């Protein structure tokens, strides 16, 4: 039996663009079924998840409602941890009971300390929320809101500092030792800084994959399994000469990152998380799609960094 930290992308868990609550529940149940398969094979699982689409939805709701006292990003992150954690915990618990597995599933609201002096606070680059036309974007920028333009329009950008420490690490490890299936550090964790031995929330978004790698090291996992919307990490992605990667070494992965083969906001953080996990003593990191989770874990597909 291996201990595995599984990181599931926010779109795979709850995609706001995909319809009514019944459809959303179907997505959640499908995700829980894939995770339950891995648990049925005897593996010890800690689960983390993304929250990008959900935070974006809350930001849009705040703006559309014209809220005077809109909630900051750390609070929105905490809200989505609770929402997604509840739905995933309930569905996974149901799937396990159907299989005769009596394991407690528990969600931990997780804070993650970040470096308050990280350069991303001065020069934010992480896009979040809705797209805006140029007129609206110019008005927002005059109000001091930082934005970036791409092919679809303008979006807000926020800081995305690297995770430094998981605040609730000890209780998570205790629950894992006692046999619980823990859902933690959703969305990379609620970003906080330490000041005079106190924790303070900050306006930022932490990369979920980097936190998942840190979580995997903290709980002594042998494997970090990152599930996304593609079956492999690839060289020349989307081009005629695309090459899907199978098993690669740390040295090869580092070279591919330096050569710029992976998208900065998509695949590169996953590769970096894999590298940090392996350097910290992890056995293997795997990147694949949600529907190929178990085959990837068994070596049948996916990209493996060793």
Using the structure block, give the residue that is written with the tokens 């005059």.
Answer: 142
CA distance 269 to 107: 24
User: Which two tokens mark 28?
Assistant: 């959640």
**Residue 122 known to be catalytic:** no
217 phi/psi in degrees, rounded to 5: -65, -40
Tell me which of 51, 56, 208, 302 is the catalytic residue: 208
Tell me which of 9, 10, 77, 186 is the catalytic residue: 10
Among 286, 289, 237, 242, which residue's Cα sits nearest to residue 263?
237
Q: Between the CA of residue 298 and those of 48, 99, 247, 253, 304, what are the distances in Å? A: 20, 21, 13, 21, 11
User: Which two tokens mark 37?
Assistant: 């398969």
Tell me which of 85, 186, 188, 270 is the catalytic residue: 270
DSSP-based three-state secondary structure for 87: helix
Q: Within 10 A of 16 (CB to CB), how many other CB atoms are there? A: 15
CA distance 79 to 155: 22
DSSP-based three-state secondary structure for 67: coil
Q: Within 10 A of 69 (CB to CB), how many other CB atoms are there? A: 5
CA distance 52 to 162: 16
**Residue 270 known to be catalytic:** yes
**Residue 208 known to be catalytic:** yes
Tell me which of 56, 77, 126, 292 is the catalytic residue: 126
**Residue 165 known to be catalytic:** no
Using the structure block, give the residue that is written with the tokens 């049925």.
Answer: 40
User: Which two tokens mark 75?
Assistant: 């609070």
List strand residue ranges (DSSP E) for the chain, in order: 3-8, 44-49, 105-108, 111-114, 126-132, 147-150, 153-158, 163-166, 181-184, 190-195, 198-201, 223-228, 234-235, 243-244, 247-248, 284-289, 303-305
Among 146, 145, 130, 129, which residue's Cα sits nearest to residue 52?
129
Which amino acids are annotated catalytic? 10-11, 126, 208, 270
């Amino acid at each position: 039996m291996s201990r595995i930290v599984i990181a599931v992308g926010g779109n795979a868990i709850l995609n706001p663009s995909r319809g009514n609550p019944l459809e959303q529940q179907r997505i959640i149940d499908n995700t829980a079924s894939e995770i339950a398969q891995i648990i049925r094979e005897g593996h010890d699982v800690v689960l983390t998840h993304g929250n990008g689409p959900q935070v974006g939805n809350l930001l849009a709701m705040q703006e559309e409602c014209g809220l005077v006292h809109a909630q900051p990003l750390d609070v929105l992150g905490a809200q989505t941890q609770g929402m997604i954690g509840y739905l995933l915990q309930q569905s996974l618990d149901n799937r396990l009971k159907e299989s005769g597995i009596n394991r407690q599933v528990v969600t931990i609201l997780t804070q993650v300390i970040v470096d308050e002096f990280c350069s991303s606070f001065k020069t934010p680059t992480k896009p979040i929320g809705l797209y805006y036309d140029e007129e609206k974007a110019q008005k927002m920028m005059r109000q001091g809101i930082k934005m970036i333009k791409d092919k679809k329009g303008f979006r807000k950008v926020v800081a995305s500092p690297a995770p430094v420490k998981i605040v609730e690490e000890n209780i998570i490890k205790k629950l894992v030792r006692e046999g619980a299936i823990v859902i933690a550090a959703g969305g990379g964790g609620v970003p906080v800084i330490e000041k005079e031995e106190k924790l303070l929330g900050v306006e930022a978004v932490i990369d979920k994959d980097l936190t998942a790698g840190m979580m995997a090291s903290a709980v002594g996992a042998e494997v970090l399994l990152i599930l996304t919307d593609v079956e492999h990490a690839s060289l020349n992605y989307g081009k005629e000469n695309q090459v899907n990667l199978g098993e690669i070494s740390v040295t090869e992965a580092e070279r591919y990152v330096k050569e710029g083969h992976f998208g900065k906001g998509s695949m590169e953080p996953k590769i970096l998380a894999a590298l940090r996990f392996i350097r910290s003593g992890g056995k293997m990191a795997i990147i694949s799609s949600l529907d190929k989770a178990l085959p990837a874990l068994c070596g049948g597909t996916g990209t493996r960094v060793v």
